[in-house]
Protein backbone atom coordinates (compact mmCIF):
# COMPACT_ATOMS: atom_id res chain seq x y z
CA UNK A 1 0.00 0.00 0.00
CA UNK A 2 1.49 3.40 -0.92
CA UNK A 3 2.37 5.49 2.14
CA UNK A 4 -0.29 8.14 1.53
CA UNK A 5 -2.94 5.42 1.40
CA UNK A 6 -1.94 3.92 4.71
CA UNK A 7 -4.70 4.03 7.27
CA UNK A 8 -4.53 6.97 9.65
CA UNK A 9 -4.42 4.63 12.61
CA UNK A 10 -1.95 1.82 12.80
CA UNK A 11 -4.50 -0.85 13.70
CA UNK A 12 -5.59 -0.60 10.09
CA UNK A 13 -8.55 0.78 8.24
CA UNK A 14 -11.47 1.19 10.59
CA UNK A 15 -9.48 1.00 13.84
CA UNK A 16 -10.15 4.61 14.73
CA UNK A 17 -10.81 6.18 18.09
CA UNK A 18 -14.29 7.72 18.20
CA UNK A 19 -14.44 11.47 18.53
CA UNK A 20 -17.93 11.45 20.06
CA UNK A 21 -17.17 9.87 23.43
CA UNK A 22 -19.12 11.26 26.36
CA UNK A 23 -17.32 13.90 28.45
CA UNK A 24 -14.77 12.34 30.79
CA UNK A 25 -14.29 9.29 28.60
CA UNK A 26 -10.97 8.87 26.82
CA UNK A 27 -8.90 6.39 24.90
CA UNK A 28 -5.33 5.69 25.96
CA UNK A 29 -2.48 6.45 23.62
CA UNK A 30 -2.51 3.97 20.75
CA UNK A 31 0.54 1.94 19.75
CA UNK A 32 2.67 3.31 16.96
CA UNK A 33 3.34 -0.16 15.65
CA UNK A 34 0.30 -2.38 15.41
CA UNK A 35 0.50 -5.75 17.09
CA UNK A 36 -1.95 -7.70 19.17
CA UNK A 37 0.34 -7.39 22.18
CA UNK A 38 0.66 -3.61 21.83
CA UNK A 39 -3.10 -3.17 21.45
CA UNK A 40 -3.74 -5.50 24.37
CA UNK A 41 -1.44 -3.36 26.51
CA UNK A 42 -3.14 -0.13 25.38
CA UNK A 43 -6.65 -1.52 25.89
CA UNK A 44 -5.77 -2.27 29.51
CA UNK A 45 -5.88 1.50 30.09
CA UNK A 46 -9.07 2.24 28.18
CA UNK A 47 -11.44 4.74 29.76
CA UNK A 48 -13.77 5.16 26.77
CA UNK A 49 -16.82 4.19 28.82
CA UNK A 50 -17.49 3.58 32.51
CA UNK A 51 -17.16 -0.21 32.52
CA UNK A 52 -13.47 -0.10 33.54
CA UNK A 53 -14.62 1.21 36.94
CA UNK A 54 -16.47 -1.98 37.87
CA UNK A 55 -14.62 -4.55 35.79
CA UNK A 56 -11.53 -6.18 37.26
CA UNK A 57 -9.57 -5.75 34.05
CA UNK A 58 -9.84 -5.41 30.29
CA UNK A 59 -10.30 -8.83 28.73
CA UNK A 60 -8.63 -8.66 25.33
CA UNK A 61 -8.97 -11.36 22.68
CA UNK A 62 -6.83 -14.47 22.71
CA UNK A 63 -5.40 -16.75 20.07
CA UNK A 64 -2.63 -17.08 17.56
CA UNK A 65 -1.58 -14.22 15.30
CA UNK A 66 -1.91 -16.70 12.40
CA UNK A 67 -5.52 -17.58 13.26
CA UNK A 68 -7.72 -17.44 10.17
CA UNK A 69 -10.95 -17.62 12.12
CA UNK A 70 -12.15 -15.08 14.69
CA UNK A 71 -15.05 -15.76 17.04
CA UNK A 72 -16.64 -12.64 18.52
CA UNK A 73 -18.78 -12.90 21.66
CA UNK A 74 -20.56 -10.18 23.62
CA UNK A 75 -18.46 -9.36 26.66
CA UNK A 76 -16.46 -11.26 29.27
CA UNK A 77 -18.44 -12.95 32.02
CA UNK A 78 -17.71 -13.17 35.72
CA UNK A 79 -14.98 -15.81 35.39
CA UNK A 80 -13.42 -14.16 32.35
CA UNK A 81 -13.31 -10.86 34.24
CA UNK A 82 -11.35 -12.50 37.06
CA UNK A 83 -9.08 -14.56 34.79
CA UNK A 84 -8.49 -11.80 32.22
CA UNK A 85 -9.15 -14.28 29.40
CA UNK A 86 -12.17 -14.65 27.09
CA UNK A 87 -14.49 -17.66 27.14
CA UNK A 88 -12.95 -19.54 30.05
CA UNK A 89 -16.16 -19.79 32.12
CA UNK A 90 -19.37 -21.80 31.61
CA UNK A 91 -20.17 -20.29 28.18
CA UNK A 92 -16.58 -21.01 27.15
CA UNK A 93 -17.00 -24.65 28.09
CA UNK A 94 -20.11 -24.89 25.90
CA UNK A 95 -18.16 -23.24 23.09
CA UNK A 96 -15.25 -25.67 23.54
CA UNK A 97 -17.57 -28.67 23.47
CA UNK A 98 -19.41 -27.43 20.37
CA UNK A 99 -16.16 -26.58 18.58
CA UNK A 100 -14.81 -30.05 19.31
CA UNK A 101 -18.03 -31.66 18.03
CA UNK A 102 -17.91 -29.55 14.88
CA UNK A 103 -14.28 -30.51 14.32
CA UNK A 104 -12.76 -27.07 14.95
CA UNK A 105 -9.61 -26.91 17.07
CA UNK A 106 -9.91 -24.00 19.53
CA UNK A 107 -6.15 -23.72 19.55
CA UNK A 108 -6.27 -22.55 15.94
CA UNK A 109 -8.91 -19.82 16.31
CA UNK A 110 -8.89 -16.37 17.86
CA UNK A 111 -11.61 -15.62 20.41
CA UNK A 112 -12.66 -12.14 21.44
CA UNK A 113 -15.62 -9.99 22.43
CA UNK A 114 -17.46 -6.89 21.18
CA UNK A 115 -17.02 -5.32 24.63
CA UNK A 116 -13.90 -5.95 26.64
CA UNK A 117 -15.09 -5.27 30.17
CA UNK A 118 -17.57 -7.28 32.22
CA UNK A 119 -20.78 -5.33 32.81
CA UNK A 120 -22.63 -6.53 35.86
CA UNK A 121 -25.02 -5.67 38.67
CA UNK A 122 -24.86 -6.96 42.19
CA UNK A 123 -27.41 -9.50 43.43
CA UNK A 124 -26.32 -10.25 46.97
CA UNK A 125 -22.82 -11.64 46.65
CA UNK A 126 -23.29 -12.53 42.99
CA UNK A 127 -22.38 -10.43 39.99
CA UNK A 128 -25.07 -10.78 37.36
CA UNK A 129 -24.40 -10.15 33.68
CA UNK A 130 -25.90 -6.97 32.23
CA UNK A 131 -26.14 -6.45 28.50
CA UNK A 132 -23.80 -3.70 27.27
CA UNK A 133 -25.56 -0.71 25.72
CA UNK A 134 -25.04 0.76 22.27
CA UNK A 135 -22.59 3.42 23.49
CA UNK A 136 -20.44 0.89 25.32
CA UNK A 137 -20.31 -1.35 22.26
CA UNK A 138 -19.46 1.64 20.06
CA UNK A 139 -16.76 2.91 22.43
CA UNK A 140 -15.12 -0.52 22.50
CA UNK A 141 -15.25 -1.01 18.73
CA UNK A 142 -11.79 0.44 18.29
CA UNK A 143 -10.21 -2.60 19.95
CA UNK A 144 -12.20 -5.11 17.94
CA UNK A 145 -11.41 -3.26 14.71
CA UNK A 146 -7.75 -3.29 15.63
CA UNK A 147 -7.84 -7.04 16.27
CA UNK A 148 -9.56 -7.65 12.93
CA UNK A 149 -7.24 -5.30 11.06
CA UNK A 150 -4.16 -7.06 12.45
CA UNK A 151 -5.46 -10.60 12.04
CA UNK A 152 -7.22 -10.11 8.70
CA UNK A 153 -9.20 -13.31 9.27
CA UNK A 154 -10.72 -15.39 6.51
CA UNK A 155 -13.72 -16.15 8.68
CA UNK A 156 -15.54 -14.06 11.31
CA UNK A 157 -18.11 -15.83 13.47
CA UNK A 158 -20.47 -13.65 15.51
CA UNK A 159 -21.72 -15.38 18.64
CA UNK A 160 -25.07 -13.86 19.59
CA UNK A 161 -27.00 -10.69 18.81
CA UNK A 162 -24.63 -8.15 20.37
CA UNK A 163 -21.72 -9.20 18.17
CA UNK A 164 -23.88 -9.73 15.07
CA UNK A 165 -25.64 -6.38 15.41
CA UNK A 166 -22.35 -4.58 16.05
CA UNK A 167 -20.49 -6.22 13.18
CA UNK A 168 -23.05 -7.18 10.55
CA UNK A 169 -26.08 -4.88 10.84
CA UNK A 170 -27.97 -3.19 13.69
CA UNK A 171 -31.21 -4.95 12.72
CA UNK A 172 -29.59 -8.37 12.29
CA UNK A 173 -31.73 -11.20 13.68
CA UNK A 174 -29.65 -14.18 14.77
CA UNK A 175 -32.74 -16.37 15.11
CA UNK A 176 -33.58 -15.82 11.43
CA UNK A 177 -30.13 -15.64 9.88
CA UNK A 178 -28.07 -18.03 11.95
CA UNK A 179 -25.81 -20.51 10.18
CA UNK A 180 -25.91 -18.65 6.86
CA UNK A 181 -22.89 -17.14 5.18
CA UNK A 182 -23.34 -13.40 4.88
CA UNK A 183 -21.82 -10.96 2.42
CA UNK A 184 -19.81 -8.49 4.43
CA UNK A 185 -16.68 -6.36 4.00
CA UNK A 186 -15.46 -7.70 7.37
CA UNK A 187 -13.97 -10.87 5.97
CA UNK A 188 -14.37 -13.22 3.00
CA UNK A 189 -16.64 -15.44 5.12
CA UNK A 190 -18.93 -14.06 7.81
CA UNK A 191 -21.51 -15.99 9.76
CA UNK A 192 -23.55 -15.58 12.94
CA UNK A 193 -24.94 -18.07 15.36
CA UNK A 194 -26.35 -18.00 18.87
CA UNK A 195 -24.30 -17.14 21.91
CA UNK A 196 -23.22 -20.28 23.81
CA UNK A 197 -24.75 -18.88 27.01
CA UNK A 198 -28.19 -19.16 25.36
CA UNK A 199 -27.71 -22.93 25.50
CA UNK A 200 -26.99 -22.75 29.21
CA UNK A 201 -30.16 -20.68 29.68
CA UNK A 202 -32.37 -22.94 27.54
CA UNK A 203 -34.95 -25.07 29.36
CA UNK A 204 -33.67 -28.57 30.01
CA UNK A 205 -36.17 -30.08 27.54
CA UNK A 206 -34.73 -28.10 24.62
CA UNK A 207 -31.11 -27.77 25.64
CA UNK A 208 -29.87 -30.78 23.67
CA UNK A 209 -31.64 -29.58 20.52
CA UNK A 210 -30.20 -26.10 20.99
CA UNK A 211 -26.72 -27.58 21.31
CA UNK A 212 -27.25 -29.68 18.19
CA UNK A 213 -28.30 -26.58 16.23
CA UNK A 214 -25.29 -24.65 17.55
CA UNK A 215 -22.96 -27.48 16.46
CA UNK A 216 -24.69 -27.56 13.05
CA UNK A 217 -23.92 -23.84 12.60
CA UNK A 218 -20.31 -24.44 13.61
CA UNK A 219 -20.09 -27.28 11.09
CA UNK A 220 -20.80 -24.67 8.39
CA UNK A 221 -17.75 -22.82 9.74
CA UNK A 222 -15.73 -26.06 9.78
CA UNK A 223 -16.61 -26.64 6.12
CA UNK A 224 -15.46 -23.13 5.21
CA UNK A 225 -12.21 -23.70 7.12
CA UNK A 226 -11.58 -26.92 5.19
CA UNK A 227 -12.10 -25.04 1.93
CA UNK A 228 -9.49 -22.34 2.69
Site for ligand URA in 158-197 (CB under 6 A): 197
Helix and strand element counts for the chain (H, E): 9, 7
Q: Report the distance separating Cα 209 and Cα 193, nearest Å.
A: 14
Based on CB atoms, which residue is closest to ligand URA, 94 or 146? Answer: 94
Are 47 and 28 in contact by the 8 Å Cβ rule? The answer is: yes
Rule CB under 6 A: say whether 76 interacts with ligand URA.
yes
Q: Which of 55, 77, 132, 153 binds ligand URA (CB under 6 A)?
A: 77
- Of 12, 55, 86, 153, which one interacts with ligand URA (CB under 6 A)? 86
Q: Which stretch binds ligand URA (CB under 6 A): 11-19, 74-82, 119-127, 185-193?
A: 74-82
Name which of 176, 155, 79, 175 is nearest 167 in CA terms. 155
Contact region with ligand URA (CB under 6 A), list: 46-54, 73-81, 96-104, 201-209: 73-81
* 9-to-32, 54, 63, 187 alpha-carbon distances in Å: 8, 29, 23, 19
What's the min distance (Å) between Cβ of 5 and ligand URA?
A: 35
Amino acid sequence: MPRDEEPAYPGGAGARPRDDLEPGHTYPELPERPSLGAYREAAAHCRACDLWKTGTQTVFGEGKREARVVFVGEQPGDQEDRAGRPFVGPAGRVLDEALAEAGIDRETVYVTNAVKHFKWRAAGKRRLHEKPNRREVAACRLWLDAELAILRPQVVVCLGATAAQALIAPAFRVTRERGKLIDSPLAPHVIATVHPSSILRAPEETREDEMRSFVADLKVVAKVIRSL
